[in-house]
Structure 1
Amino acid sequence: MSNQKPSPRPVEQGRGGERLPLPPLDALDAEQRAAAQVLIDGPRKAVYGPFVPLLRTPVLLDRVAQLGEALRFGGRLDARVRELVICVAARAVGNQFEWVMHQPLARAAGIDAGALEAIRVGARAEGLMADEQAAVDFATELLQHDGVADASYARALAAFGEPGVVELATLIGYFVMVSWVMNVARTPSRPTADVAPLPAWPL
């Protein structure tokens, strides 16, 4: 029997509609309004994605948003590596929102289009730079086996150092977490003609 975890279907394929849509403005309480305003005033500039369902618990929304900002806007990992790993995590848990949002950011940061297409369809990415490959191998192993072997750890350590390895593992966990929230909520992605969506498994 394989140790690989089964890959999910993307959340928007199949049953039902959005479970936890954005509440009407007049239905928000003061704490929810304050949490929403912090997002609007911050680097995100709006309430979208996982923060739509998280608006039901404003304290949790605030803490999750702060962690995401630290990883995305204050982290030490190069944008190439960060956006690539987010794409790997989105594919692993079948989340269309994060895929559609971060695939263009990965391309803009310099990730090869062919490598991203391979990730999209569940194949091994080829032609990556050494640090990109180390990050993909680390992320893939962690997502499939809930840990990493010594060889994968050593390659990531050589590429990113100890702080970078900790950030890399936290980044993967963060995007799995928010993707799971959206998968449960059936949060829709932003439609775009420029990004091919994740296909359903099995292909």
Structure 2
Amino acid sequence: MSSVPNEFRITWPPKETWTDATREVQSFWGEPNSWEEGSKTNVINVMANHPPLAMAWSHFGKYFMIGHTLSKRQLEIVVLRVAVLVNSPYEWHNHVGYAIQEGITLEEIAAIRDFPNGDHTFSDEEAAIISACGELIKGNNITDATWATLQKTLRQDQMMDLVFLIGNYVMTSWGLSAFGVPIEGGADAIGFDLKTKSGRTPGVTYRPGESEDWIEKRGY
């Protein structure tokens, strides 16, 4: 795995250039004072350089964050697996905490990372979800065998969401890497080895709006 980017290729837009459209991007997720001061999230501020794209991306991403037909556990399994396959330290760092909040253990997270190796045994459905990530990324399709397994337990709309969920996080990870977006400087970065920068054990974090103190709990 490559190291976390430490230099922006696209920097935050200078405050004197901000328009209402810029501020709408920065305040999309409801961070306190974000209209006046901007977001504290690196990727949001980088995307604010291009408000039409950023708002389309934000609405698409919001659907997969809080409006999709899959369970939150399924969502986090997908994002963690995609982060490993496309080498996205930023998404990995953020979603380890989200996964823990959904009851996914560090042992399970390591098994998602190492799939199909490791001691943990996933259900047929979850193994097929993890496999679908690799099949789409590496082969541009889902195999008939994996599709048949998924059809046993997922509805048609859920299977459609699964494919687009995988694609959404591949696309976002490409942007993070290509734009050189680093993990926020104040964050206790979680590596692919599940060790934090400070040496602390990774813990729970919350998605935007999921708790009243989600800003404080995210750690930057």
- TM-score normalised by L of structure 2: 0.74
- Alpha carbon RMSD of aligned pairs, Å? 2.6
Q: Structure 1-normalised TM-score? A: 0.80
Q: Does 1:134 align with 2:155?
A: no
State which of 155, 173, 189 in structure 1 corresponds to 2:183.
189
Contact kept? 1:11, 1:183, Cα under 8 Å: no
- Correspondence 1:124 to 2:117: yes
The aligned counterpart of 1:26 is 16
Unaligned stretches of 5+ in structure 2?
194-220
Whole-Å separation in 2 of the counterparts to 1:158 and 1:107: 27
Q: Residues 93-151 of structure 1, C-alpha deviation per residue, up to 9 Å, x if partnerless?
A: 11111100001211221224223113445763532233322211111211221111111
Partner of 2:59: 66
Q: Match for residue 95 of structure 1?
A: 88
Question: 8 Å contact 2:25–2:44 — kept in the other structure?
Answer: no
- Larger RCO (CA under 8 A, 6+ residues apart): 1
Distance in 2 (CA, whole Å) between partners of 1:146 and 1:47 is 35
> Which residue does the alignment assign to 1:104?
97
Match of 2:149 in 1: 155
Identify unmatched segments of 5+ residues in structure 1: 1-8
Aligned residue pairs, count: 186
Taking structure 1 as reference, are residues 79 and 151 closer, same or farther at Cα in structure 2, changes over 3 Å only?
A: same
Question: In the aligned structure 2, how far is the partner of 1:145 from the partner of 1:19?
Answer: 30
SS in 2 for 1:17: coil
The structure with more helix, counted as a fraction of residues: 1
Contact 1:89 1:176 (8 Å CA) reproduced:
yes
Stretch deviating more after TM superposition (129-138 or 45-54)? 45-54
Identity %: 22
Cα distance in structure 2, aligned partners of 1:11 and 1:50: 17
Kept in 1, the 8 Å contact 2:112–2:130? The answer is no
Separation (CA, whole Å) in 1 of partners of 2:31 and 2:52:
17
Q: Distance in 2 between matches of 1:124 and 1:50?
A: 32
